[in-house]
Amino acid sequence: MDDSERLPRRAVLARLAISESGFVFDPTTGHSFIVNETGLVVLRRLQAGSPMRDLIVTLQDDYDAAPAELERDVLEFVGSLRKLVDAQ
């Protein structure tokens, strides 16, 4: 499965307004939610167009976790994110 099948569409990610505190607002749907520090890193990297493998490497540099564990956690986060913002 490639990144395009796992990640929210780029246009969806681009429209999200994200504050430094982790408040995320989708102006198209009106939905808002809060992410923690790690979620903020993941969202910013996704908005920048980082491929999944680069995102995992970035997280490995910051957190003491195995790549498989990080990938699982990121995929879980992305799945939740898609439900919130990619449901149009």
Provide Rg for the chain, Cα atoms: 12
Integer angstrom CA distances of residue 41 from 1, 30, 58, 61, 64: 23, 22, 9, 12, 16
pLDDT tens string 45-54: 999 998 888 9
Residue-number span of the structural domain to which 59 is assigned: 3-83
Q: What CATH number corresponds to the domain at position 54? A: 1.10.10
| 19 is a domain residue | yes
How many domains is the chain partitioned into structurally? 1
Distance of alpha carbon 40 from alpha carbon 79, whole angstroms: 15
pLDDT tens string 29-79: 898 999 999 999 999 999 999 888 898 888 998 888 898 999 899 999 988
| 88 is a domain residue | no
Amino acid code (one letter) for 80: S
